[in-house]
Amino acid sequence: MKIIKLNATNSTNSFLKELGQNSALENFTVVVTGEQKKGRGQQESKWISEPFKNLTFSVFTNDFDLEIRHQKYLNFAISLGVFNTLAHHKIPNLSIKWPNDILSANKKICGILIENNIKGTKINSSIIGIGLNVNQEKFPDTIKNVSSLKITSNLEFDLDRLLIEIVENLKKTIHLLSLKEYLKLETDYLTALYKNKIPSMFKDKDGILFMGKIIGVSNYGNLQVELEDETTREFGVKEISFL
| Predicted confidence (pLDDT) per residue in 139-192, tens digit | 988 888 999 999 999 999 999 999 999 999 999 999 999 999 999 999 999 999
Domain of 33, in residue numbers: 2-192
Alpha carbon distance 113, 167 (integer Å): 15
CATH of the domain at 233: 2.30.30.100
Q: Are residues 83 and 170 in the same domain?
A: yes
Q: Are residues 92 and 29 in the same domain?
A: yes
Residue 183 half-sphere exposure toward CB, CA atoms < 13 A: 0
Q: How many structural domains comprise the chain?
A: 2
Mean pLDDT of 102-111: 96
CA dihedral 90, 143, 106, 136 (to 10 degrees): 10
Q: Are residues 136 and 220 in the same domain?
A: no
CB 176 within 8 A of CB 61: no
Alpha carbon distance 35, 50 (integer Å): 7
CATH of the domain at 26: 3.30.930.10
Q: Are residues 30 and 92 in the same domain?
A: yes
Rounded to the nearest 5°, which phi and psi values hold at 184? -65, -45
The confidence score (pLDDT) of residue 70 equals 96
Q: Are residues 131 and 238 in the same domain?
A: no
pTM of the full structure: 0.93
Residue 93 half-sphere exposure toward CB, CA atoms < 13 A: 13
Over residues 39-63, the pLDDT tens digits come to 665 545 566 778 899 999 999 999 8
Q: Are residues 121 and 238 in the same domain?
A: no
Q: Are residues 165 and 213 in the same domain?
A: no
Helix spans in 135-178 (H)? 149-153, 159-178
Mean pLDDT of 11-26: 93
Q: Are residues 230 and 156 in the same domain?
A: no
Q: Are residues 78 and 106 in the same domain?
A: yes
Q: Are residues 98 and 217 in the same domain?
A: no
Q: Which of 72-81, 98-107, 134-143 has the lowest mean pLDDT?
A: 134-143
Helix spans in the chain (H)? 12-22, 71-88, 149-153, 159-178, 182-192
| Burial class of 69 by CB neighbour count within 10 A (0 to 12, 13 to 18, 19+) | exposed
Strand partners of residue 206: none
The confidence score (pLDDT) of residue 37 equals 78
Q: What are the DSSP calls for 61-93, one per residue?
A: E----EEGGGHHHHHHHHHHHHHHHHHHTT-TT
Please confirm whether the linkage preceding 99 is cis (ω < 30° from 0). yes
